[in-house]
């Protein structure tokens, strides 16, 4: 009789990732779990093997499922993926003993509207709004329908607390503790002259804030939208509305996980 306890494993094509996936499957199967290399709707856990990119891709390609997910790091930075391939037995023993915690993180959602239609996109770390060509772009930025800025520069980055340590940090934004549900707007190469005035530091907004970005000039309506490092190009954009999504991603964390020690080990 087959087990009803299903665990899905997703991995990239690196040799270490493939070998780790095979090893993990053998260990879990020997304990009576049904292991699949595709996402099963009835799975009780998703294991992502790779780097942070693999972890984010797994969530994105499976429409941000309501299933706990844990990462095994075979990449470089590994901020989401806290477990090494050498710790498979440790992970399994912790999981069986239920000696872990679930960290809920809130994705970011954007509605991109053209003249005739709108599309929705979602990410974990950030949305970046830039011009379609390599020149200064002018954007009107609204928060809760209040005009905050006529921005001029390379573009803006809107990040979650979880994403504050990603591109946002590289762009000069603040690191935010992930226990705080906030949005952060960080300018990218802002211009400050007698003609153009743009904010030069991040703006921190509450969890219920709605950010609306409108190209100031009609000829700048072709935009590059980057979600968690994945680039999309859109034409004739009238506005981009962004807020925190009304759902949670469940990350399985081992009991000894602590955010600020993680930051220190990865960045300082």
Residues forming the active site: 52
User: How many whole angstroms separate alpha carbon 74 and alpha carbon 126?
Assistant: 23
Strands 155-160 and 126-131: antiparallel
47, 75, 78 from 83: Cα distances, Å: 11, 11, 9
- 217 in Cβ contact with 36 (< 8 Å): no
- 64 in Cβ contact with 249 (< 8 Å): yes
User: How many whole angstroms separate alpha carbon 3 and alpha carbon 35?
Assistant: 10
User: How many whole angstroms separate alpha carbon 157 and alpha carbon 197?
Assistant: 17
User: How many whole angstroms separate alpha carbon 90 and alpha carbon 45?
Assistant: 16
Residue 115, Cβ neighbours under 10 Å: how many?
Answer: 8
* Nearest C-alpha neighbor of 85 from the set 75, 95, 96: 75
């Amino acid at each position: 009789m087959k087990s009803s306890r299903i665990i899905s494993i997703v991995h990239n094509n690196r040799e270490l990732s493939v070998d780790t996936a095979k090893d993990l499957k053998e260990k879990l199967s020997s304990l009576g779990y049904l292991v699949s290399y595709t996402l099963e709707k009835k799975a009780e856990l998703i294991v992502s093997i790779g780097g942070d990119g693999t972890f984010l891709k797994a969530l994105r390609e499976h429409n941000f499922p309501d299933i706990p997910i844990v990462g095994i790091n075979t990449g470089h930075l590994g901020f989401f993926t806290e477990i090494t391939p050498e710790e498979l037995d440790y992970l399994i023993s912790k999981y069986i003993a239920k000696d872990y915690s679930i960290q809920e993180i809130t994705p970011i959602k954007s509605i991109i509207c053209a003249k005739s239609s709108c599309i929705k996109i979602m990410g974990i770390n950030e949305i970046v709004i830039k011009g379609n060509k390599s020149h200064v772009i002018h954007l009107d930025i609204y928060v809760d329908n209040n005009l905050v800025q006529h921005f001029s520069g390379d573009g803006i980055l809107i990040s979650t607390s979880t994403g504050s340590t990603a591109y946002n940090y590289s762009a000069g934004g603040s690191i935010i503790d992930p226990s705080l549900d906030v949005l952060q707007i960080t300018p990218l190469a802002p211009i400050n002259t007698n003609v153009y005035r743009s904010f030069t530091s991040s703006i921190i907004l509450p969890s219920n804030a709605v950010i609306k970005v409108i190209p100031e000039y009609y000829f700048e309506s072709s935009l590059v939208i980057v979600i968690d490092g994945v680039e999309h190009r859109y034409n004739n954009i009238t506005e981009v509305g962004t807020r925190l999504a009304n759902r949670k991603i469940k990350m399985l964390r081992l009991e000894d996980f602590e955010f600020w020690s993680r930051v220190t080990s990865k960045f300082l």
